[in-house]
Amino acid sequence: MNNSATPNGTPVDSVSHTNSPAKDKHCDLYIESDRTGMTVETLKRAFVDNLHYIQGKDAMFATPYDYFMALAYTVRDRLLHRRIKTAQTYFEQDAKVVYYLSAEFLIGRLLLNNLINVGLYEQTQQAMADFGLDLNELMEGEPEPGLGNGGLGRLAACFLDSLATLEIPAVGYGIRYEFGIFEQIITNGWQHEVPDNWLRFGNPWEIARPDYNVEVKFGGHTEAYTDAQGHYRVRWVPSTTVFGTPYDTPIPGYGKNTVNTLRLWSARAAQDFNLQVFNAGDYTQAVSEKTFSENISKVLYPNDNTPQGKELRLRQQYFFVSCSLQDIIRLYLRRHTSFDAFPDKVAIQLNDTHPAIGVAELMRLLVDEYQLPWEKAWDITQRTFAYTNHTLLAEALERWSVELFGQLLPRHLEIIYEINYRFLNEVRLRYPGNTARLARMSLIEEGYPKQVRMAHLACVGSHTVNGVAELHTELIKQELMRDFHEMYPNKFQNKTNGITPRRWLLMSNPRLASLITETLKSDRWITHLEDLRGLEPYATDPAFQAKWQQIKQANKERLAEYIWRNNQIEVDPYSLFDIQVKRIHEYKRQHLAVLHIITLYEQLKANPHMDIQPRTFIFGGKAAPGYFMAKMIIKLINSVADMVNHDSDVNGRLKVVFLSNYSVSLGEIVYPAADLSEQISTAGKEASGTGNMKFALNGALTIGTLDGANVEIRQEVGAENFFLFGLTAQEVMSLKAEGYNPREYYNSNPMLKKVIDSLISNYFNPREPGLFEPIVNSLLNEDQYMLLADYQSYVDCQQRAAQAFRNKAHWTQMSILNVARMGKFSSDRTIAEYCKDIWHVKPVPVSLDTCRPAFRPSRASQASSL
């Protein structure tokens, strides 16, 4: 295989692709089209054509962004060629389609991903070089879509990649957030949020589909009536309506002709501009409806600390679910005249509780709009939906006040009450006289305010409920949804999460990917991650270890350069890179890592000549705008960093860095550079985690609790290759049941007391007395996530990790074995299990035409909208 440079300036192997068209027997002559051709010369012609006629520039006036856009459109042409053929194939075969509903899709930059998946990387690099352009620089200029916050959205993106790679008919549905997740700015150690205007210069990958606009209703009231056949009916008379416009992004499979679609909805007003009001002189009011309506798709997760914020979140969720379900029905009815086959042709996956309103919305559409009998509609609904739970945290299991629900979605509240009435009758028959169970299982939580339980709605309205790690699923069965599991034991499954090796090894760590391919003498591992087992015999080979170490060192130097460039902090790339990057949350316990840093700092202050393993502690992640304690943790990290990084007693042996505005593209630099991966959540709180998988796949060793997928990672890589500490989930529950008192740990552990006292005494914040009192009070008086109980175990485990790092040969052996044994954690495996056990769908291979067919408008040709 030939090596060539990637965006990071490192070699990547060319990949074998089978998607180049062979000569069609019906074509006397095949001439490569500038729109679809794969050769260097064809790409060059197409690039110049797009620069001139889409960007309207030539080489004299073109900017780097013009070049990027021209290249992106060139690649998009090849994707659309495959996309149209994919849609036609699905339509002709009347294939069952998976519809993945998610509030987040953290897809990352797409140019490199698309080049690799379609098999165009080397040709494109050569074509750009022939023009004197650097492909790496062009790719760096691509804006990153801010369509997600963390693991939930990144998982959805990995799943889309795997669905296309496995040739599964699928569509992802979500919201086209105009500003997405905020851009994080760190000022004086504090997080500040500014708009992430990722659409400022347009998005070359998406295609607007205004011809598929749908109408979404809000507010108003309902009216009962009797139809011509004497049936009781209800019509919803809304107070406002908005339109949803779909924007399609093509999602190519790796080495396949399949290109699926991510369809995102943008909100716009039913009436953008009121001319009468404008002519009357009220210019602001003339566009007020437009402003109000378009707020729905402005920002990911608006702050819901206010009633207005809560209402906007509910509007967002209903908006994209209603748009998506109307679209799904439209697509289904192109081939069918009744809903009898709907569950056999449609599989809808609810990615957490955000789209759970879909259960009530599908019932509304079937009963009110298409006038199906309730019983038939309910049977279709239950057989169509499946629900993935992603959290064990009570506050993340969404509840909406009945009052707000009734104001915003009056018809849906009626439907939910009817579903609940019928469901509770089933519970009464099954468990007569058990009023406590009725209260626990009801879709409506009594109290003030009375609330709709969205997780219960999703559970009742779905044929399958799955957790995302073995431990998580067991806790769902035993704790979170115990009543439901007892009533419907066959409804619950586990589907351990996975990550795509294309993004998280092939793209992000090309040197390591090349070494693996060279060693295994095959690149089959890219789609069969279990093939990495073939690396095990090399784990103790000194020559192979040396190559492995060189790659890790180069990745660390790349991250060190990034840190200097963006944080102006000089870090030692030969130190132990101890990294924790993820959403900032108390249960993820970034502040436990800070307590350990302060512990090492205190030891160095007491003995400046102490022999200590040099470390660089690296944090990254965003706090929700309204989450005070998470923002306080970011401030604590930065305050400790400011003190430690400038103390001469430390002499550079400890460095602390907070990477601002953490993103997918930054993760592609961070994961390959890690020596030690921090996965230290309180046992029983993390559903799965996927960052733990990305780190391990790139050769980092894990320090962690038995939480989420850590349990399975440890089982796969071997207990001897994992740094385990802390209470188990059962021990956490038992200790809390006994009456956990964090002050006992504080008073009985001198070092812990000294660390906490340094926060009380304002040592790290002398100019802001009392700043960290909320953290101290939380730890000493409640410690909900049991940091103090796990502190000593964590510190001791960190010492073992530091000692192990000093033995380079053994550390490298453990690193190699971690990578070799990560095959289970491919999203390809996860999706294959969903297809077999939940969705009951099969691959639909796509073959490309080699000559352009004559244009004949037909029903089949319209299928490209899918």
Widest CA span in the chain: 91
The answer to whether residue 464 is catalytic is: no
- Beta strand pairing status for 11-13 and 97-101? unpaired
Say which DSSP state 682 is in: P
The answer to whether residue 422 is catalytic is: no
* Closest to 689 measured CA to CA, from 697, 702, 679: 679
- Let me know: does 652 contact 676? Beta carbons within 8 Å: no
- Let me know: does 170 contact 97? Beta carbons within 8 Å: yes
> Which residue of the set 85, 456, 583, 615 is catalytic?
583
> Which residue of the set 477, 511, 558, 588 is catalytic?
588
Other beta carbons within 10 Å of 349: 24
> Which residue of the set 390, 502, 591, 622 is catalytic?
390
The answer to whether residue 694 is catalytic is: yes
> Which residue of the set 44, 345, 582, 631 is catalytic?
582
> Which residue of the set 500, 690, 705, 830 is catalytic?
690
* Contacts with 171 (C-beta within 8 Å, 6 or more apart), sequence order: 97, 98, 99, 100, 260, 261, 262, 263, 866
The answer to whether residue 583 is catalytic is: yes
The answer to whether residue 824 is catalytic is: no
Residue 562 CB-half CA count within 13 A: 20
Cα 144–147–150 angle (5° rounding)? 95
* Distance, CA of 137 to CA of 127 (rounded, Å): 14
* Distance, CA of 434 to CA of 332 (rounded, Å): 42
> Which residue of the set 694, 702, 705, 830 is catalytic?
694
* Distance, CA of 57 to CA of 813 (rounded, Å): 53
Dig out the tokens for 39 from the structure. 């050769």
Burial of 411 by CB count in 10 Å (0-12 exposed, 13-18 middle, 19+ buried)?
A: buried
DSSP-based three-state secondary structure for 848: coil
Using only C-alpha atoms, the chain has a radius of gyration, in whole angstroms, of 28
The answer to whether residue 582 is catalytic is: yes
Sequential DSSP letters for 332-364:
HHTT-SSSTTHHHHEEEEEESSTTTTHHHHHHH
- Let me know: does 226 contact 233? Beta carbons within 8 Å: yes
- Let me know: does 740 contact 841? Beta carbons within 8 Å: no
Q: Enumerate the active-site residues.
A: 390, 582-583, 588, 690, 694
